[in-house]
């Protein structure tokens, strides 16, 4: 095994581990964590016009360019709320994998479809959502405070708490592009 092969394997393993941690979306909160969250208004009150006083939710299919998944909507909240609840109110549907049904995000609003060819540097790939998504093609989770820059989420959808004024984005990256949400 060459040094390059070892580095590539190590980088892929680290990316996969980071994806697992970052996109963890357990269906129940950990008992030791506070479960207090603001009531979220019904989805019908989610808005895509005017300034957002709640949480701005963005779905960007990024490199896939699949407009069916793309969305930008404001979800009214008045206190820290689980990201999974905010996505539900924004009518954003996430699907995990067979192996990790609640821990990973494999599809968002049906994208990428099981029969969709994802073109990447190594050829084409179809996401089957059976195990860990490929390290070169996956949904990433981002958070932006009311004032500041986008940051890769350090928690998953079920445990991540988003606050009024923040933005939450699911962004699909292929071969590391796009590297981060748009400003």
pLDDT tens digits, the chain, 183 residues: what are they?
Answer: 433 333 333 333 333 334 333 333 333 333 323 333 334 434 435 665 678 999 999 999 999 999 989 999 999 999 999 999 999 999 999 999 999 887 789 999 999 999 999 999 999 999 999 999 999 999 999 999 999 999 999 988 888 999 999 999 999 999 999 999 997
pTM above 0.85, yes or no: no
Longest dimension (CA), the chain: 57
For 8, other C-beta atoms within 10 Å of its C-beta total 12
Nearest residue to 160 (alpha-carbon basis) of 61, 86, 73, 54: 86
d(CA 159, CA 155): 6
Output the CA torsion sign for 33, 38, 42, 47.
Answer: negative
């Amino acid at each position: 095994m060459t040094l390059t092969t070892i580095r590539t394997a190590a980088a892929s393993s680290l990316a996969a581990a980071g994806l697992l941690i970052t996109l963890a979306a357990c269906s129940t909160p950990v008992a030791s964590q506070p479960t207090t969250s603001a009531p979220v208004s019904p989805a019908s009150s989610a808005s895509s016009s005017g300034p957002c006083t709640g949480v701005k939710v963005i779905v960007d299919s990024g490199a896939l360019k699949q407009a069916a998944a793309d969305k930008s909507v404001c979800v009214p909240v008045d206190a820290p709320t689980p990201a999974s609840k905010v996505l539900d109110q924004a009518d954003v549907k996430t699907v995990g994998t067979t192996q990790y049904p609640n821990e990973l995000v494999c599809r968002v609003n049906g994208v990428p479809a099981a029969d969709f060819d994802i073109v990447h540097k190594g050829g084409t790939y179809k996401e089957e959502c059976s195990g860990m998504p490929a390290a070169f093609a996956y949904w990433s989770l981002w958070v932006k405070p009311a004032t500041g820059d986008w940051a890769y989420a350090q928690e998953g959808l079920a445990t991540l708490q988003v606050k009024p004024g923040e933005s939450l984005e699911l962004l699909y990256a292929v071969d590391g592009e796009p590297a981060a949400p748009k400003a």
